Chain A
Amino acid sequence: MATEKNTPTQQQRPISPFMIGPYYKPQFSSILSIAHRASGVFLSIFGSLILIYWLFGLSRGPVAFQQVMNNLTSIPGMLLLAMLCFAIYYHFFNGLRHLIWDTGRMLEIDQANRSAIVVLICSAGATLVTLAIAGGLL
């Protein structure tokens, strides 16, 4: 009804996105979705920063580059790199899942749940392999 338009209840309706909070029960798909965003924000800030820091250090010469490598191979540096490693693989594989969805495929609930497991296995596996290579080289 038109008269309901400006009632207080309408003003208090949840603002999108309302998947977090009292309206929705946490689900496998929604957790992965928010993890895609969280990893995206993390990569936007720290992934970009580290990549540009590394390239800039490299461009400034051997002394500056050695300083960059010392910082990156310190304990906090390696911890950050390991987190970036998982974030990038997760965002990469889950991003592929999103791109497949964008073509209208794999949208059934059981397909989405299965592709979610594939994404988690792939990103965990790729992270372990990468860290093993990095550890073996050190």
Chain B
Amino acid sequence: MNMRHPLANARGLGSAKSGTSHWWGQRVTALLLIPLVIWMLYVVIVYANQPYQVLQVFFSHSYNSILAILLILAMLRHAQLGMQVVIEDYVHSQPLETILQLLVKLCALTGAITGVLAVVRLALQG
């Protein structure tokens, strides 16, 4: 039985029944990012001042490429989900909010493609 007032249905506001998957996605990517960020910090701290060739060899190993791609995808998904909530909370103009939400998704997707492309290119050079 639908307990909602017909007017509420007509307005179309309120729960879109997607809150749980959003909440869960934010936590799952957060958990995934714990080991991946530790790995990234290790790479940045240890390899930051190494010459180009050393880094190229590092990223020619498939396990490093896999970790780098996992990091990029988990990071950008986590960022997109987080930015979505921030925009939902603070941007109260409906057209601007829609534009920003789409822009964030476009940026995350473009970033993912660019990052994965770079890692694949590095993997193929090795």
Contacts and interface: CB of A to CB of B under 8 A. Distances in A.
A81 B6 CA distance: 53
A62 B41 contact: no
Contacts of A137: 48-49
Interface residues of B, number: 36
Size bracket of the A interface: 20 to 34
B13 interface: no
A134 B49 CA distance: 9
B89 A58 contact: no
Contacts of B37: 88, 92
B109 to A, nearest CB: 12
Interface of A is mostly: helix
A99 B27 contact: yes
B102 interface: no
Contacts of B89: 16-17
A138 B59 contact: no
A72 B110 CA distance: 22
B115 A58 contact: no
Interface stretch (A24-32, A37-45, A104-112, A113-121): A37-45
Given A98-B30, A99-B30, 10 more contacts: A16-B89, A44-B82, A47-B75, A52-B72, A55-B119, A56-B115, A59-B118, A59-B119, A99-B31, A130-B45
14 contacts: A37-B86, A40-B79, A40-B86, A44-B83, A48-B75, A48-B76, A48-B108, A55-B115, A56-B114, A59-B119, A99-B27, A99-B31, A102-B27, A133-B45
Interface of A: 15-17, 37, 40-41, 43-44, 47-49, 51-52, 55-56, 58-59, 62, 65-66, 88, 92, 95-96, 98-99, 102, 130, 133-134, 137-138
